[in-house]
Amino acid sequence: MTDITRIEAAAARLQGHARLTPLLNAPLLDRIAGRRVFIKAESLQLTGSFKFRGGWAALSALAPEVRLRGVIAFSSGNHAQGVALSAARLGAPCVIIMPTDAPQVKIANTRAYGAEVVLYRRGQDDRDAIGAQLSADRGLTLIKPYDDPEVIAGQGSVGLEIAAQSADAGVGAADVVVCCGGGGLSTGIALALQSRAPQMRVRTAEPAGFDDMARSLAAGTRLGNPAATGSICDAILTPTPGLLTFPVLQRLAGPGLVVSDDEAMRAMALAFSHLGLVLEPGGAVALAACLFRADLGDTVVCTATGGNVDPDLFRTVLQRFG
Amino acid sequence: MTDITRIEAAAARLQGHARLTPLLNAPLLDRIAGRRVFIKAESLQLTGSFKFRGGWAALSALAPEVRLRGVIAFSSGNHAQGVALSAARLGAPCVIIMPTDAPQVKIANTRAYGAEVVLYRRGQDDRDAIGAQLSADRGLTLIKPYDDPEVIAGQGSVGLEIAAQSADAGVGAADVVVCCGGGGLSTGIALALQSRAPQMRVRTAEPAGFDDMARSLAAGTRLGNPAATGSICDAILTPTPGLLTFPVLQRLAGPGLVVSDDEAMRAMALAFSHLGLVLEPGGAVALAACLFRADLGDTVVCTATGGNVDPDLFRTVLQRFG
């Protein structure tokens, strides 16, 4: 499993390849939140989300002969792009299985990074069977989106940076609110902070109706969501907490936070106005929790995990909440 | 006048107060541009533009008793916000004279930072008379937007960062394309690069119809623009090159670049899609030049100078060019 040594090794492999993203803040945003809010802007990461870190960490950990046979991933778009660009830069063939209802910008960019995109119809096609056949035929290695020790280690590099940048900003004890799907980023950050900033505690943030992590943490066991789709937060709609991630978050994270789609969109509009950041809905849920939830301290750090959003949706957000 | 010593002193005063903004790039954007493009994202600076640097540099250089009497500035919005936040943090009363047609977000934010905003009707009211009266009555010190050695020195800190970050990114010789109004930022960067990265050369970028700097550089003398308004690039519509800035740029800058409003908007849409950045029109002209002009080298650095844009305009940009 992932530990701080593995996270440090992943961070070393990412050095010079991933971007050290800034920790932002804005006085007028603090006023709205009623607390100090620092934003780790992973939307500015290469490929527009933190997923590049995990993709690069996983691919760079493969034996060269395995990597050169190629990799495959299932993703609605951010993991897809992270794996696709990592594969292109490391010379690995790459197949991405994506649902037809993924945001168009994510499908287009995944192709533009050089990946072969195979689309499936959500709820009709058996994506696992499609992937298994392709993997068997071509000898591809599956890169999981979160239940993989190297992927978690790569995402954990965000935690190392949060610890260092928060210290530079004079932040001591703080909740670190993390946008949560399967829990790979939350887990990597929690493990990094345990070593580097033990006074900071991870809190997961999820969209209403897809709060499997919050309910699982409360129940002490992995629970699923009632539905597979139905939120605009496409990037973080996972069926259940991960097998590797849940035990770590049970040990290290506080209670999970939940926000509505409207709150996520309000956070997107405020990030537009006060931070100059383009966020996608799933990348704005942690900021939304920091802005609109009472159950947090005076100083919070949140992840802005992704910025890959179709222009039409962004226009709607600005029209309704800008 | 400003020199590298003054720029370094301003940078030292800015340390811990202004943000070290990231130098971004995106593989898919490079493909569109047909060259390597690095973006110095000053839209992520406090107050959403580089102007905070010059404001802070100027106010922090004042004698305390002068500063405490208060400051005054004329601005359509970015210099206004930079001076207003600097004044608030340094305990100085602050009056900002703004045109009624300034973007609403800029007027609102300037007030939110605690400044007293006095509005005038462009083309009807005598803003200079209004300012002179207020200054005389209250003993306020005028903070000019560009023709001030300390303001230029503060903006020059961007150049110090570009030199260091470009070296880290392995960039050697390059054109550094800078959004240009009166020329304060271009001049500060040019002076910083002359000392720290002499293989890099500043190129100014302006909106069509307001290309006074490009025409002045070509003519060898300061020329004005035929009109005062008529471009969406509100942040950089100045009547003529500055008295202090022009001689420096004549010596150090290459030929000026000019882009249309439509090209600036296309650059805004591409910054949205590929960089996750919200840019205002005047903050996107340098990126537009890097994307759409042949007269530049294989590797360019550009400034993204501001991100303060009304949501309605941004929606229009996404609708037309997204």
A136 pLDDT exceeds 90?
A: yes
Share of chain A above pLDDT 70, in %: 100
Domain hosting A134: range is 52-142
Residues A43 and A59 in one domain: no
Instruction: Report how far Cα A39 is from the mean position of its chain's Cα atoms.
Output: 14
Question: Domain holding B90: CATH number?
Answer: 3.40.50.1100
Phi, psi angle pair for B305, to nearest 5°: -80, -25
Q: Is B3 exposed, middle or buried (0-12, 13-18, 19+ CB in 10 A)?
A: middle
> How far apart are the CA of B310 and the nearest CA of chain A, in angstroms?
8
CA separation for the pair B195, B178 (Å, rounded) = 18
Partners of residue B318 in chain A, C-beta under 8 Å: 311-312, 314-315
Measured CA to CA, the distance from residue A303 to residue A22 in angstroms comes to: 11
Q: Does residue A3 surpass a pLDDT of 90? A: yes
Nearest to B42 by CA among B200, B246, B269, B277: B277
Numbers of helices and strands, H then E, in chain B: 14, 10
Domain count of the fold of chain A = 2
Q: Does A311 contact B43 at a Cβ distance shorter than 8 Å?
A: no
B272 and B312, same domain (yes or no):
yes
ipTM over 0.90: yes
Do both A187 and A271 map to the same domain? yes
pLDDT digits (tens, 9 = 90+) for B229-286: 889 998 888 999 999 999 999 999 999 999 999 999 999 999 999 999 999 999 999 9
Residues B228 and B259 grouped into a single domain: yes
Distance, in Å, from the CA atom of A175 to the CA atom of A193, rounded to the nearest integer, reads: 11
Task: Considering only the beta carbons, identify the residue of B46, B275, B318 that sits closest to A311.
Answer: B318
State whether B22 and A27 contact (CB < 8 Å).
no
pLDDT tens readout for residues A178-233: 999 999 999 999 999 999 999 999 999 999 999 999 999 999 999 999 988 889 99
**pLDDT tens-digit map of A269-296:** 999 999 999 999 999 999 999 999 999 9
- A22: chain B residues, CB-CB within 8 Å: 19-22, 44
Q: Which of A87, A116, A142 is the last residue of a domain?
A: A142
Considering the domain architecture, whether residues A17 and A44 belong to the same structural domain is answered as yes
Query: What tokens were used for B106?
Result: 């800029």
User: In this structure, are A246 and A211 located in the same domain?
Assistant: yes
Residues of B in contact with A277 (CB under 8 A): 44, 276-278
Query: Tokens in use for B90?
Result: 């340094």
Shortest distance between the Cα of A37 and any Cα of chain B, in A, equals 14
Co-location of B106 and B22 in the same domain: no
Co-location of B152 and B237 in the same domain: yes
Q: CB distance B44–A22 less than 8 Å? A: yes
In angstroms, what separates the C-alpha of A206 from chain B's closest C-alpha?
Answer: 22
- Written as six digits, the tokens of B186 are 């271009």
pLDDT digits (tens, 9 = 90+) for A231-266: 999 888 899 999 999 999 999 999 999 999 999 999
Q: Are residues B161 and B268 in the same domain?
A: yes
Domain end (from B102, B120, B142): B142
Minimal C-alpha gap between B1 and chain A (Å): 33
| Helices of type H across B114-260 | 127-138, 149-168, 184-196, 212-219, 245-252
Distance (Å, rounded) from C-alpha A61 to C-alpha A47? 20
Q: Which of B278, B280, B305 to mutate to test the interface with A (most CBs of A within 10 A)?
A: B278
pLDDT band at residue A176 using 50, 70 and 90 as cut-offs: very high
Co-location of B38 and B166 in the same domain: yes
Same domain, yes or no: A183 and A265 = yes
**Final residue belonging to a domain, choices A142, A170, A200:** A142
Instruction: Tell which of A273, A312, A316, A317 to mutate to test the B interface (max B CBs under 10 Å).
Output: A273
Confidence of residue B122 (pLDDT cuts 50, 70, 90): confident
Q: Provide φ and ψ at A35, rounded to 5°.
A: -160, 170
Mark whether A39 and A71 lie in a shared domain.
no
Residue-by-residue DSSP string for B260-293: -HHHHHHHHHHHHHHT-B---HHHHHHHHHHHH-
